Structure 1
Amino acid sequence: MLDFYSYVRSLVGGFLFSCFLDYISHDDLSDVLERSEVVSAKKSAYGDVSVNIAFLLSKLLSKSPKEIANVLIQEMGDHPDINYCLIGGIGFINIFFNTNVISKFCININSSGLSYGSIPVDKNGRKVNIEFVSANPTGPLHIGHVRGAIISDVLANVFTILGYIVTREYYVNDAGVQIDKLVQSVLFRCYEILGLNLEHQCLEYSGDYIVDIAKLILLKSNNNIEYISMNEKWIRSFILEHMMSLIRKDLESLRIKHDVFVYETQLYQSDDFEDSISLLTDKNLVKEMLITEPPKGKKDESWMTREALVFKSTDFGDNEDRILKKADGSWTYFASDIAYHYNKIKRNYDLLILSLGDDHKGYAKRIYSVVEALSDKKQNMYINFYDLVNFFELGERVKMSKRSGKFFGLQDLLDIVDIDTLRFFMLTRNSNVTLDFDIDKVKNDSKDNMLFYVQYACVRARSVISKTNIEVDYTDDSFDLYALVSDVERNLIRILLKWPIVLRSVEKTYEPSKIVFYLYDVAEQYNVFWSMGKSMSNMRVIVSDDLQLTKARLVLSCAVKNVISVGLELLNITVQKEM
């Protein structure tokens, strides 16, 4: 069954073609229909939905939107599903549907259950790759990683429910300089634990977890420092395996499971490096260039002018060409990214999504340019940026760093805040807005705690259904909700019917916070309705002298429970049965 808004679009499309096909081509009308918007009316006085299609036809017909809207309204007035239509403003078409139509779609929420708003895979079947987290394996995840992880995980859930075949991917940078520094930091701690006198070093990584892994290495090697010194390859592999184990544990704590882990070292062992650079060379996008200045932030007195292999990213709007090989002949981090995205492109995804922190925005242009060049502009890609998280405890901001040792990891956070609260709260701001995480606020059981407020509305609806002894078929689509006439009830129905378009909005904008805001709207409207029943007996769910009204409100409450449950499931948050 079509969702309500797909049905309205289809209905409007029929009137569009019947009225104007003699004056506008089929392709142009199809384009107008595609670009048109069907939105929920803000108030009952404005109808159930409002359509802007007259504005899009105005230029094509050389008529005012109001004239066009009048033509459409006259055609629409005789349809059995429509009660009547009005013109809003200078050309919006406000449609009032018969209650049996609204009832059918509202009850469909209950019939669909947890699949409400979803699309079967065979209706779409497009392949999407979402790469997220991809933190360097130099320590456990911190709260900054957590936000991007949750945003991307929910985004993956949305694409899945909309019929996409989704791959969750993690790229492991296990071949870079930071890994060398990590190994050096661990080895220093090994020597220190054994009491060896070493000159003080400025360690890149100095958290407690570095000491823990040093102790494990000593245990494995029976404190044999000579063995440790002679087996750097084993040491490196052991450290990386341990770090990835910590990261996987953190991801599991977040209820996140990646489908694929791609290691940078694997790319070096494959043909992807050579093949990707060769492909760019064949396209005349790689050249030797004289480098006269050291890289930014790396002033070195030993720096000398030299020739370097570069990618001509300025051809794609970048502000400078990018170096592919270092002075020692090793590949740059950017060259690894080229090989990695070449590897992705070979796997034939319809869409690549890359999640990056806001501090990586300067990297976007070169990544887009490489993907465009490697795929001949055929590969769709979107980089989804998320802003930083400021963590507050007892009114003070807490700073954290893996390198300084003042590290606030995920496990530390989960000792204070439960995982449901964490996942929900990380989505309470748009991704591109800085998030202030205040422990004291998120632990309060009040309206200020958005998750508590949403869960409470769901529990209320579930409770009133479970306690009644009135027999109701919650999935009978022939049941008419005509008794629901108050503004708060009609507004609530309109909000419930919006869920499928909320999902499509997340799909188009890559912004899963829309789900949290939507669930809060549902909860707020239902809680308003519930509160009205405390002071007005005729507004209670159970009205003792009106069975039809009671049944209608029970059906509505069931729809509220189901929509909130669907939304929380999509966020991978436990749906509370009681509170």
Structure 2
Amino acid sequence: MNLFANIRAVVINALNEMSKEGTLPEGLDLSNVTVEPPRDPLHGDMATNAAMVLAKPAGAKPRDLAEALAAKLRDEPRVSSAEVAGPGFLNLRLEASVWGDVARAALKAGADFGRADLGKGLKVNVEYVSANPTGPMHVGHTRGAIFGDALCSLLDFAGYDVTREYYINDGGAQVDVLARSAYERYREACGQEPEIREGLYPGDYLIPVGQALKDKYGDSLLDKGEQYWLEDIREFATEAMMEMIRGDLASLGVKMDVFYSEKSLYGTGQIEGALKRLEDLGLIYEGVLEPPKGKLPEDWEEREQTLFKSTLFGDDVDRPVKKSDGSWTYFAPDIAYHWTKVERGYDMLIDVFGADHGGYVKRMKAAVAALSDRRVPLDIKLIQLVKLFKNGEPFKMSKRAGTFVTLRDVVEQAGADVTRFHMLTRKNDAALDFDFDKVLEQSKDNPVFYVQYAHARVCSVLRKARDAGWDLNDAKLAEVDIMLDDAAQQVLARKIAEWPRLVEIAARANEPHRVAFFLYELASDLHSLWNRGNDKPELRFFQEGDEAATAARIALARATAVVISAGLGILGVTPAEEMR
């Protein structure tokens, strides 16, 4: 039940009737007509912009149009009043019984309440994390992993067919560095002094890899040139790192559907094939780029390269795909990789990148637009940095990792649920502070605790009811007369009614943080009603001697928990049944 969509349908039907009657001209575009919560709740339950967006094309005054529409809407049984405000906004108030119906709908639908068909089964590929397989995941990867995973769950909830994908960057020079670093740990396992020279990975996490290499090869690789061992150790170490990364992801509850290897693109003709497609479209040429802005002539070496005409698709400059020495640029395999996504039949692509990839956005969007004849949209979400604090001070780096705080460091200290929720309390492109003390404190200022506490409070109500002999289940609660005669009860029900609308808005924008914001607001309304019961006994969930009122309030509380549980499920957080 999407109440806002239902009332919008009522508005659209009224507008169509006005067209038939001649009050409005036929054929008006009604797509921009919205029904949404008013900015000020005192103005009503819903507001529509219909008169404001239709007045000009209809050749009418907004306020006159709003008055005519208001007269129509007053005949709708669920609308108790329709009032024109300002130059032509229309505020609606709904009958009190509507809010009981919302709670009833949530109880009947259960975990599926708010689930949408917005996606209509479209296939979406979401690529996220994609950390280099050279070590454990760090805190920056943590935020990207959580964001990507929650986004996938949100899109699934909104009716898309979602694939979670990890792109293994195992085709570049960094995996050769990994192999050389692992070889030094192999030498160490064989009793020799490792030479962790500058440029190698110094973390202790490679010590077990060195031991595993010794177990496999004995001392047969000692004092051999890297031409004898580089390829084998590169493959061995890369798989060891991927096994570590899979474990890191599992500690957060993240499970990928696809791990796609960059290395698989090399020597298979896939890079050449993707670029051939662009060439056939007349988008590849040999040329010389202008020097980058801010570069002095003596800093710039003019050289001919193979270029992609990305400027035809909104990029700032054309981009090289092959260097003057004939080797591929980093961009070339990325083009080929995204071409595989198009060929695999995805209708939409989403990439989750670190903030340092901001300069990559336009060129990648240009490549996908060209490869798919602009059929497949690509959205790129940039994840800003996370700053860690503990005891009021910046959190120190991990010795085991060598140079950074690992994902495991964060999860072990804060827990997966707390980590996941808190990482979604800011929009992805805003910097985020993660204070280990604050994310674990029990206060309203801690959104994780505040939302979990709301769910736990409802669970305590249900336990008390069962202890009192009530036979409770959602189906039975949905049958009771859910009377909501107090303003605080109606506020809570109104917020529940916003959930299906919020799901669609968040999914359209690819913004799962909106779910976390909504849950905090919903929890606040539940806590407010609970606290009002401390001052006004008639608002408490249990009313001695009044089973009807008690049943109605328990039903409202349970409906709230249904939405909190669904929202936390999207975020990948387990709802708390009691606080400890």
- For normalisation by structure 1, the TM-score amounts to 0.92
Alignment partners' CA distance in 2, 1:281 and 1:35: 41
Q: State the partner residue of 1:149.
A: 145
Seen in structure 2, the aligned counterparts of structure 1 residues 291 and 512 have a Cα distance that, compared at 3 Å, is: closer
1:49·1:96 contact (CA, 8 Å) conserved in 2?
Answer: yes
Q: 1:412 aligns with which of 409, 413, 427?
A: 409
The Cα of 1:60 is off from its aligned counterpart by 1.3
The Cα of 1:326 is off from its aligned counterpart by 3.1
Alignment partners' CA distance in 2, 1:295 and 1:42: 45
State how 1:228-239 maps to structure 2 within 5 Å: 229=225, 230-239=228-237
Alignment partners' CA distance in 1, 2:326 and 2:34: 55
The Cα of 1:400 is off from its aligned counterpart by 4.8
1:206·1:402 contact (CA, 8 Å) conserved in 2?
Answer: no
The Cα of 1:27 is off from its aligned counterpart by 4.7
1:228·1:235 contact (CA, 8 Å) conserved in 2?
Answer: no
The Cα of 1:233 is off from its aligned counterpart by 1.9
Q: Which amino acid aligns with 2:130?
A: S
Alignment partners' CA distance in 1, 2:374 and 2:400: 40
Seen in structure 2, the aligned counterparts of structure 1 residues 235 and 484 have a Cα distance that, compared at 3 Å, is: same
Q: State the partner residue of 1:559.
A: 559
Q: Which amino acid aligns with 2:85?
A: G
Q: State the partner residue of 1:525.
A: 525
Deviates more, 1:463-472 or 1:359-368: 463-472
Q: State the partner residue of 2:96.
A: 99
SS of match in other structure, 2:322: coil
Alignment partners' CA distance in 2, 1:336 and 1:499: 41
2:204·2:402 contact (CA, 8 Å) conserved in 1?
Answer: yes
Seen in structure 2, the aligned counterparts of structure 1 residues 487 and 226 have a Cα distance that, compared at 3 Å, is: same
2:74·2:82 contact (CA, 8 Å) conserved in 1?
Answer: yes
Give the number of equivalent residue pairs. 571
Q: State the partner residue of 1:548.
A: 548
- Find out whether 1:220 has 2:216 as its counterpart: yes
Q: State the partner residue of 1:54.
A: 51
Q: State the partner residue of 2:464.
A: 467
Alignment partners' CA distance in 2, 1:258 and 1:491: 39
Seen in structure 2, the aligned counterparts of structure 1 residues 133 and 63 have a Cα distance that, compared at 3 Å, is: same
Seen in structure 2, the aligned counterparts of structure 1 residues 317 and 98 have a Cα distance that, compared at 3 Å, is: closer
1:350·1:380 contact (CA, 8 Å) conserved in 2?
Answer: yes
State how 1:229-378 maps to structure 2 within 5 Å: 229=225, 230-290=228-288, 306-378=303-375
The Cα of 1:101 is off from its aligned counterpart by 3.0
Instruction: State, as a whole percentage, how many aligned pairs show the same letter.
Output: 37
Seen in structure 2, the aligned counterparts of structure 1 residues 529 and 508 have a Cα distance that, compared at 3 Å, is: same
- Find out whether 1:190 has 2:190 as its counterpart: no
State how 1:370-519 maps to structure 2 within 5 Å: 370-398=367-395, 400=397, 405-468=402-465, 469-470=469-470, 474-475=474-475, 479-481=480-482, 483-519=483-519
SS of match in other structure, 2:417: helix
Deviation sequence 1:306-326 (CA, Å, 0-9, x none): 432222223334333222223
The Cα of 1:548 is off from its aligned counterpart by 3.2
Deviation sequence 1:225-279 (CA, Å, 0-9, x none): 3496423221111011101101111111111111111111111243321111111
Alignment partners' CA distance in 2, 1:198 and 1:346: 46
Q: Which amino acid aligns with 1:542?
A: F
1:133·1:145 contact (CA, 8 Å) conserved in 2?
Answer: yes
* Unaligned runs of at least 5 residues, structure 1: none
2:398·2:406 contact (CA, 8 Å) conserved in 1?
Answer: no
The Cα of 1:474 is off from its aligned counterpart by 4.8
User: What value does the CA root-mean-square deviation take over the aligned residues?
Assistant: 2.8
Q: State the partner residue of 2:121.
A: 125
Seen in structure 2, the aligned counterparts of structure 1 residues 189 and 25 have a Cα distance that, compared at 3 Å, is: farther
The Cα of 1:549 is off from its aligned counterpart by 2.7
The Cα of 1:296 is off from its aligned counterpart by 11
Seen in structure 2, the aligned counterparts of structure 1 residues 445 and 401 have a Cα distance that, compared at 3 Å, is: closer
Q: Which amino acid aligns with 1:413?
A: V
Alignment partners' CA distance in 2, 1:35 and 1:132: 33
2:102·2:493 contact (CA, 8 Å) conserved in 1?
Answer: no
Alignment partners' CA distance in 2, 1:211 and 1:27: 72
Deviation sequence 1:73-112 (CA, Å, 0-9, x none): 1112222232221123332222222233332222100111
Seen in structure 2, the aligned counterparts of structure 1 residues 335 and 106 have a Cα distance that, compared at 3 Å, is: same
Seen in structure 2, the aligned counterparts of structure 1 residues 235 and 257 have a Cα distance that, compared at 3 Å, is: same
The Cα of 1:547 is off from its aligned counterpart by 3.7
1:541·1:553 contact (CA, 8 Å) conserved in 2?
Answer: yes
Deviation sequence 1:267-315 (CA, Å, 0-9, x none): 1243321111111112221112247979999x999x9754322222233
- For normalisation by structure 2, the TM-score amounts to 0.92
Alignment partners' CA distance in 1, 2:278 and 2:396: 42
Deviation sequence 1:113-154 (CA, Å, 0-9, x none): 111111369x81111110001111111111100101111111
Seen in structure 2, the aligned counterparts of structure 1 residues 496 and 228 have a Cα distance that, compared at 3 Å, is: farther
2:103·2:493 contact (CA, 8 Å) conserved in 1?
Answer: yes
Q: State the partner residue of 2:2.
A: 3
SS of match in other structure, 2:424: coil
Q: Which amino acid aligns with 1:258?
A: M
Alignment partners' CA distance in 1, 2:128 and 2:351: 6
Deviation sequence 1:412-442 (CA, Å, 0-9, x none): 2222111100000100111111001101111
Q: Which amino acid aligns with 1:572?
A: G
- Find out whether 1:173 has 2:162 as its counterpart: no
Alignment partners' CA distance in 2, 1:544 and 1:176: 71
1:391·1:436 contact (CA, 8 Å) conserved in 2?
Answer: yes
Seen in structure 2, the aligned counterparts of structure 1 residues 376 and 445 have a Cα distance that, compared at 3 Å, is: same
- Find out whether 1:81 has 2:78 as its counterpart: yes
The Cα of 1:23 is off from its aligned counterpart by 6.2
1:318·1:365 contact (CA, 8 Å) conserved in 2?
Answer: yes
Q: Which amino acid aligns with 2:379?
A: Y
Q: Which amino acid aligns with 2:35?
A: V
The Cα of 1:466 is off from its aligned counterpart by 2.7
Seen in structure 2, the aligned counterparts of structure 1 residues 293 and 92 have a Cα distance that, compared at 3 Å, is: closer
